[in-house]
Structure 1
Amino acid sequence: MLEKELAELELGRHLCCIYRDVEEQLSAMSLFMSLGVDRNEKCLYVVDDRTKEEVVDYFKGRGFDVEEFVESGRFEFRTKSESYLRNGYFDPDRMIDLLEDARDEALEEGYDGLRATGEMTWFFSDMPGVEKLMEYESKLNEFLPDSKVMALCQYNEGRFSPEVLVDVLHTHPRVLLYDELHENPYYMPPRIFKAQMNGEVTWEHYESMRGDLIQRTRLKREEEQAREELEEEHRRLRTLFSNLPGMAYRCLNNRNWTMKFLSEGCRELTGYGPIELIDDEEISYGKVIVSEDRDYVWNEVQSALEDREPFKITYRIETKGGEERWVWEQGRGIFSDDDELKFLEGFITDITDRKSMEEKLRDSSRQLDAIFNDPETFTGIVDTDGTLLEANESSLDFVDATRSEVEGEKLWNTPWWDHSAELQERLKSGIERASNGEIVRFEADHIGESGEKITVDFSLRPVENEDGEIVSLIATGKNITERKEAEERYRSIFEGLDEAVFVLRAGDDYGEILELNPATEELFGYSRDELIGKDITDLIAEGEEKLGEPDEERRHFVQRKVRKDGAVFWSEVTEVPFKYEGKKTYLSICRDITDRKEAEEKIRELSRFRERIIQDVDIWLNVLDKDANVQVWNKAAEEISGYSEEEVVGHDEIWEWLYPDEDYRREITEKVGDILKGEEIER
């Protein structure tokens, strides 16, 4: 795992290794430096904590014979006197010049770049300038990008103080800690690091950061495992979903949409049976589409195929009985290994009821015109496929557009969004998520007709009908330009963190919020002014235990929190002592783990759903394991066969009971064996 992660790093990276012993140090260095040799990079190793002989012997023991590369000039050892402390003192700019010169020399010799590592224990010498170590580390972050140099700084955890180690974490974007490579959430860009507050730093502070790094990696792996389990459950259900309302298809990419496969659901959807549509036997599917919508369907599909993207479209069909229906289609092109389009595959379902509800929603929205046309807010109604159905006057005035120019267009193609391809993609993703029930919120920059640039707090909220189906989305944007400008003037060191972070008062008034970072506002939906002075327990969901001041130095727990809009989410909280303005306080780091919790619940719900489907179908259905032993025997099987589930599951003799004739039983069991191997059989 570590080798793969290190191999993915490109030149220009700055990382550190914090090690506990020589084995942990040199095993990582052997791997790091051998990768540089393999990638045609010149390698530079500055020794101090270890001797050159120790490093060479260890590398040899790991199968990395570095001596031959030293002789060829591909690998170079230097001492601290030849590098960091040349001429008896340390100068950060001079050391960076040394790296730049070594890089130039490497490029002239035909190498792709320079890979350098240094043992930083030279810091403990009495030479002038060593106190500028962290200035040097911060300046490296300005030099290394695009420099064709990769640098790894080695720190002996047992020798350096916690104050230095915390600064090491602040100045390295990636940290190699205890044989694991971590993305460092505590990294501060050079500008922020130089401006950070002066304060006391303790071992507990460093150990808390170290523990959080390790915990993050473990949680990431747990989330990946949950996602894999969810995907496996989806695969098991696909065969059951083929009987749900709607039709699965495979067709050619022509104007007739010549069908090559159709599920039986096409009969209920279109009135035509599969045999009538396949190969255009009685009528082509292209002619089932209402004539006014045919060009639209063709153009949307061709555009998606050109971009090698899935397509989602809504249009009308005319059934065999003459009824007009709205349908929603999702599909994609299937391409050969030579990138030739073979056919299209997808699923089509009836959304007539949803379209009818959208019409009612548009009618009722006119009754709410006063709210909808709030001059301080940009507001619009968007179809779940991204089509803008309606926009209010303030949003139209901002871009000097008329309703006819924007309504009916994809929202991302309108003047509010078409100035930025990146912003358009973010909007598309947000619409897709909101169409699946998620409330989406992010900030976006819009440019008005006059060239005025503003920042808006943009949100997408799903609208459901009485049956709980999502029929449209409400898009709103509030001008927060002034607030953003104020935030830019008063950014704190917290802005580099992704998690919500509170500073909480200690003692009798424990829990009072003294400070917070921008991520907290985004997570909880409150502004900074609304949260300062508030009690942290006010953000706990109903029914959750309100915890008092921690008894221990570090506390970690999972708790449901509640946002300003009343939405409840799962959070993982870490609280550690922290000195703020000379007084003891607590840092409370809050991480939203709702997705992980929901993924776990979704796995359980899908399992329950599968059981209900199996038990409720009115056909004989049983599930076998790989050895043909019955695992599930549904109610229909009990009624038809006369055997109960208790009599069948776990009993090998079931085949003899069901098929007394030995020859016929052998034929049946052989066919079952073929099916379990994935082979197709004819009935």
Structure 2
Amino acid sequence: MKKILIIDDQKDNLTTIEALLKIKLPGCKILTALSGKEGIDIANEEKPDTILLDIIMPGMDGYTVCKKLKENDLTKHIPVVMITAIKTDPESRIKGLDMGADAFLSKPIDQGELSAQVNVMLRIKKAEDELQAEKFQLDKKVKKKTKELRENNEKLNLEITKRKQVEEVLHNRERTYETLLNNLPGFTYRCKNDKNWTMDYISAGCENVTAYTYDDFLNNKNIAFNDIIDADYQEKVWAKWQKALKDKTSFEYEYPIFTKDKKLRWVWERGCGIFSDDGELLYLEGFITDITERKLTEEKLQNSEERFKKLSNLTFEGILIHNNGVAIDVNESLTRLFGYTEKEMIGKNLIKLLVPQEYHAKIKENIVKKIANPYEVLGRKKDGTLFPIEIEAKDIKSKDGEIRVTAIRDITERKLAEKSLRKSEEQQRTILQTAMDGFWLLDMKGNLVEANMAYSLISGYNMEELLTMKISDFEASETEVEIGSRIKKILKKGEDRFETQHRCKDGNIIDVEISVKYQSFDGGRFVCFLHDITNRKKAEKELLKYRENLEELVKERTKELEEKNQELERFNELFVGREFRIKELKNKVKELEEKLKLNLR
């Protein structure tokens, strides 16, 4: 329903204009105010679609009211029609336009002109509302897209970081495998995906590993490759290959075989399925190498592989293996991080080389106490640049005794992000503290965790007192049970908006409108914004009283009209009866005359 606000200090004028508007615009809600201040308050609360404003008023005149309305973000888009008593006064109109007026009406008000002007203003307001709604939706979409882009960027950065870590592990593995392949005999193959592993191609190196020639294996001429696999492993090899093909991943497995001269040897196989563009499996390709010697020397390599696994499994940028600060091994990320070469680091005391002196004691203490938890210090690059780093270390045992594996991470960006976050939180806190409406942050028990200065001023309690209170200390219209029911409703919906009453420190009861939203972080929180609507409620009561008085007046006038109507009906009955009797007398007279004439004849 459209709302029209009339501001005039003359009650008769208000009544006249309201009556005209109700005739011409029956679908509109009419609001009235007898002063500029009251009109501004109603405009702030009701957000009318058009304001009719009398210029000449005591105290705050129409120009001042118009200026204040146009300066307020809540009401500046509402069209204002100024009512002037001087139709030919251009200076009044110019001044009104300077104050922000949108149109003028002159007294006495013409009913048609009033209707036309108001309709134009309503169309202007509708267009402005649509523009604001479109702008709001656009801003909402921009914020949503910005948030999505930010989240996607964070996910992408995380994915890139994880991918780099995985790539580093894979690179180290590939380098290890390449070294093994360059020093161990082996052979390549292409075969069918059947239980015999029928060979379409097999390199000559197979003879060094199996003692069978490649001709023996081709198309299972003399022996199937599956026949030389240890019987206990044949089904395992088949199952692992089928899973790799299903998942479209590479196959990798170690298993024993029996050579032509019945010797047991261990082989390592790595291969993959070759698929057509249509996804059809064509054949298997791979490489098999003899790892028997490696199996025999596995115990000797165990310490080395453990060190490799520890290094690979740590997900930090820089990796350092040291003994009491002296570098035994470093990875490439650490050299890039500090700008030194591997040669410049190995054998050096990296505590002195990479960290300023004021942190030496702390690092040495953590080494002695075998502290494993991460901690932060400043790092120093080769060029002298200082930057924040995070250190996490763990002692492990090796064949040479106990060594310390240390991961070092550049946390410059994290520190900047933390600083930015703190700044953002401070800005948000400042906004809440300077807001016109009250603000609460409640825990799940209804205790105040945080409040702003606006609510302190509304309630009369200081900030220290507020933070020791709970909902029931303020609530003046709901019981503890009702409060509990409302909390359950908010938890179910996630949010709510409602009106209630609060008791101030001085005992006064105020009306408040509360908007609350549930947030699940920190064990659950209720974010509440509280708006003092006492004046609005008072205005609503006064308006209701005015309407009741008006209805009573209408009833009295209706009763008077009914009484007058009854008198008219009685008079009409008397008049009709008299006329009927006169007509009867005339008829009697006529009859007598006729008889007299007959007698005379």
Whether TM-score is above 0.5 comes out as no
- What TM-score results when the alignment is normalised by the length of structure 2? 0.31
Name which one, 1 or 2, has greater alpha-carbon Rg.
Answer: 2
- Higher-helix-fraction structure: 2
- What TM-score results when the alignment is normalised by the length of structure 1? 0.28
